[in-house]
Amino acid sequence: MVTFSKQIKEGTKKSHSAAENTKFVAGFLRGVVDPEKYSKLIANFYYVYDTMEQRIDETKDPLAEVLQSWSADLNRTSTLERDLRYYYGPMWRDKLEPSEACNKYCSRINEVAEKDPYLLIAHHYTRYIGDLSGGQILKGIAEKALQPPNGEGLHFYEFPRIEDAKEWKTNYRQVLDTLELDDAMKDALIEEANNAFRLNMYLFDEVEGSATKSLWNILLGFIKRSYELKGGN
């Protein structure tokens, strides 16, 4: 029997590859890190993580509640606040606001938290497992490209409570495999994880300046149709 953790990894493989091949991420992986674009990205990530972490903290859903046990290890809001103070100064809150792509991302998180809160698991998986995997590669590239003093501006990638990321991810996947999910729920989680990858891609494209209104319409139409097919109201 194929475990759910393997199913979601396999089921999001194409979306994962597509995200890595966006212009912004592909350039990043080649060592092209523009400080202005990077700071805009993490500014938007601040709103995404703040929304997701608040929703996870508030949930009473019996499946999504498992995510709360990892909050101390994973939560990124405070590290992003520290990074934003470095890039924008102590009054950073007055200088920033979420972009259109960011607002769409946050709206989707809020929507699933209200209608099908177990789908928060998909957003949690997409972001945090990525942060502990490819995110650590990006950290090394950013350090070399930006050469910040004492690692300032890159605390987003630091997880001081996690000594062995590989072991931690193995334990995470084992917990996912113990969740009582029927086939329809598994399919919905995989689809939502793909949605999360798409939302990340449009965030990357927006930062790079290549997102278009037509692509937004395609994305939002896809999300709406997929949600309706799964019985959402």
Residue 219 pLDDT = 57
Calculate what percentage of the chain has a pLDDT beyond 90.
88
How is the chain split into domains, by residue range? 4-229
From residue 81, how far is each of 146, 156, 186, 215, 226 by CA, in Å?
A: 19, 9, 34, 30, 34
Topology of domain 4-229 in CATH is Heme Oxygenase; Chain A (1.20.910)
CB-neighbour burial class of residue 207 (10 A; exposed 0-12, middle 13-18, buried 19+) = buried
- Give pLDDT tens digits for 47-72: 999 999 999 999 999 999 999 999 99
Q: Taking all residues of the chain, what is their mean pLDDT, rounded to a whole number?
A: 92
- Give pLDDT tens digits for 81-93: 999 999 999 999 9
pLDDT (mean) for 92-120: 97
Residue 213 pLDDT = 46
From residue 119, how far is each of 22, 41, 84, 113, 192 by CA, in Å?
A: 25, 24, 29, 7, 7
